[in-house]
Structure 1
Amino acid sequence: MTAIAELDHVTKRYGAIEAVRDVSLKLEAGETVALVGHNGAGKTTLFKLMVGLSRPTSGSIRVLGDDPAAGEFAARKRLGYLPESVSFNGALTGREVLSFYVRLKDVPMAKIDELLARVGLTAASNRPIRTYSKGMRQRLGLIQALFGDPLLLLLDEPTTGLDPALRQEFYEIVQELQQAGATIVLSSHALTELEERARRVIIMNRGVVVANGSIEQLHRIAGLPVRIRVTVASGQAQGLAALVGPVPNWREINGHLVEFDAAPGAKIALIRRATDKGGPAEDVTIIQPTLDDLYAHFLRTHGEAL
């Protein structure tokens, strides 16, 4: 695959503070990446470095073949960026703001109406932005990020202030862009939203990348136990216990459900014992560790107090 962006041993200092420390990573064409971490982990700084709003203290960055820190960053026209805190001149209307951005990116004016309709802002487009709600300003920011059919889209907390319907619409737009070949980087604290949508997850802690891989790869690295939930007939939990044997975190719920943990290597054997023919099991559910669980694990591993 072709690298859309490449960071090589990048560090960014603000005085004595290292916001980003020795980060090396590649973003490949057409992938969707979740960039996660606590507040102050370095995610927004990383975005600003890739956009060219900040220069690295050391290391090098290439985005769409260009150096963002260079005076001429031609690739910016094919790069979309939605910052965490969207801010526009409140005296301008939404349409006036978007007219400014289409000129910057040499985009046809007709694109404004198309995207206004897509995110449900047509009726408010001629109102001053000071009358917009937070969610409406967020949608306006999303439109400007989508101008120019970006090859790289950097989205910092993009669904903040969006209702569930608009959140779903937003992810449909993201999926369309990804299928058309764009690289999408999503930074969000809503990890459940990212888990099914990101091909790769990058976890940052105190300016350092502490994990980088697919959900499956992170599962293998972390080695977290899975949760096995067994439905049994009323009063049959002890019969199941006799079949399964000693297991970590055994828990009985409402007389009909039993849960226990299984290490990755022990999962199949425990399921076979739990579902032994003639045993009390009526149904079995396997609950994999979530992205929240993986995130907490890698932060604990690297000394972050949760």
Structure 2
Amino acid sequence: MNVVEIDGVSQRYGRATVLHGLNLNLAPGEVLGLFGHNGAGKTTAMKLVLGLLRASAGQVRVFGRAPSDPHVRRWLGYLPENVTFYPQLSGVETLRHFARLKGAPMHQVDSLLEDVGLTAAATRRVKTYSKGMRQRLGLAQALLGEPRLLLLDEPTVGLDPFATQDLYRLLDRLRAAGTSIILCSHVLPGVEAHINRAAILTQGRLLALGSLAQLRAEAGLPTLIRGSGLQRVEVLQQRWSAAGHVTRPWGAEGLQVAACNGSKVELLRQLLAEDSPSDVEILAPSLEDLYRHYMNSHQITAQEAAL
């Protein structure tokens, strides 16, 4: 049984439709990334799963039940984009307060503060916390009660690069332990290694859904091969350009070629046979590349439809 089933869901606010027939699911122990510009419908989808909104059309099921089911809510953890706490409470007092509300064991408080790197600041008032520290406290709050489903709305907002990596390592551990996670973000670099599938939304519609390997195959974007320290740059460039491959210089003695349509292995073989590079980089399309591709394709389709 899937942890989350979103079946043909539309959501309307008055005359405005913010989700259009969304179909989405989440498997046990899976991390699903929701990506899109502001207003794409990511937060609305999360609120439907949380039971904070009722779908205008279609059905949402969480653990096979309605999101409003009290049993379901005990299995959820949620970090909102703009997390706020009582400023006069300390970090540890805040977590104890939420532990009581959730019915979570008090012994989890200290361990969660350690997990998110706030042990040293546990007794400080929250009003003295930076944005990143409040975000980490929010994550600790979401993890109280060991939720089976974790929903994170822009979890890296306010985090420095080190704290961001700590967050992703924590999510990796949770995934390995069987926690299902929906991660909503518009910050793409760094996240792709920590998700199983990506869902790209725009204007309330699902543009693409799949693993990065599936999206790369569907998009047909080239893999970049970069050779450095080459002796025969001009020979390779002429040969590849004549064969229809897009090339460009790479550094003082290097060359980049775009490998399309399954040509990566053959181009790499030619590079190593024709020259002796000091270094070779192979760059598959990133999540950011895929996101840009699907967004641009959607924009072109919309423009053509308007003609």
Alignment TM-score, normalising by the size of structure 2: 0.91
Partner of 2:213: 216
- Counterparts of 2:173 and 2:269, CA distance in 1: 42
Q: Which moved more, 1:49-58 or 1:111-120?
A: 111-120
**Alignment-derived partner of residue 290 in structure 1:** 286
Deviations 1:78-137 (A, max 9, x none): 111101111122233323322221122211111111111222223333333222211111
Partner-residue secondary structure (3-state), 1:187? strand
Could you tell me which residue of structure 1 aligns to residue 156 of structure 2?
159
Q: Give the equivalent residue in structure 2 for 1:40.
A: 39
Q: Residue 204 of structure 2 corresponds to which residue in structure 1?
A: 207
Counterpart amino acid of 1:190?
Answer: V
* 8 Å contact kept, 1:240–1:281: no
Tell me which moved more, 196-205 or 242-251.
Answer: 242-251
- 2:260 pairs with 1:258: no
**One-letter identity of the residue aligned with 2:293:** H
1:87-236 superposed matches below 5 A: 87-234=84-231, 236=232
For 2:80, the equivalent position in structure 1 comes to 83
Q: Which residue does 2:296 correspond to in 1?
A: 300
Q: Is the Cα–Cα contact under 8 Å of residues 227 and 250 in structure 2 kept in the other structure?
A: no
The aligned length equals 299
Q: What secondary structure does 2:86 align onto? A: coil
Structure 1 residue 281 displacement after superposition: 4.0
Matched residue, 1:12: 11
CA distance in 1, matches of 2:262, 2:100: 57
Identity of aligned residues (%): 43
Compared CA separation, residues 206 and 165, structure 1 to 2 (3 A): same
The verdict on how the C-alpha distance between 1:123 and 1:265 changes in structure 2, with shifts beyond 3 A counting, is closer
Say which SS state the counterpart of residue 192 (structure 1) adopts: coil
- Once the 2 structures are TM-superposed, how far is the Cα of residue 242 of structure 1 from its aligned partner? 4.3
Q: Which residue of 2 aligns with 1:280?
A: 275
1:232 Cα offset (Å): 4.5
The one-letter code matched in structure 2 to 1:37 is: G
- Give the match's secondary structure for 2:265: helix
> 1:125-181: CA deviations, max 9, x gaps?
333322221111111100110011111111111122223332222222211211111
Check conservation: 1:155, 1:186, Cα contact below 8 A. yes
How far apart are the structure 1 equivalents of 2:154 and 2:179? 19
Range that drifts further, 250-259 or 121-130:
121-130
Report the Cα offset of residue 19 of structure 1.
1.5
Deviation per residue, 1:274-293 (Å, 9 max, x gap): 333xx234253322111100
Report the 3-state secondary structure (helix = DSSP H, G, I; strand = E; otherwise coil) of the residue aligned with 2:207. strand
1:244 to 240, 250, 265: 240
Write the distance in 1 (CA, Å) between the matches of 2:126 and 2:287. 36
Deviations 1:205-252 (A, max 9, x none): 111111110000000100011212123435x21122344342443212
Alignment CA distance shift 1:165-1:284 (3 Å): closer
Q: Which string of whole-angstrom CA distances, capped at 9 and with x for unpartnered residues, describes residues 25-72 of structure 1?
A: 11000111111111111111111111111111111111123212x4x4
State the alpha-carbon separation in 1 of the partners of residues 144 and 230 from structure 2. 58
Q: Which stretches in structure 1 are left out of the alignment for 5+ residues?
A: none
Q: Is the 8 A contact 1:33 1:202 kept in 2?
A: yes
How far apart are the structure 1 equivalents of 2:280 and 2:163?
A: 35
Amino acid at match of 1:138: Q
Question: RMSD in angstroms over aligned alpha carbons?
Answer: 1.9
Cα distance in structure 2, aligned partners of 1:265 and 1:203: 25
What's the TM-score, normalizing by structure 1? 0.91
SS in 1 for 2:55: coil
Moved more, 40-49 or 250-259: 250-259
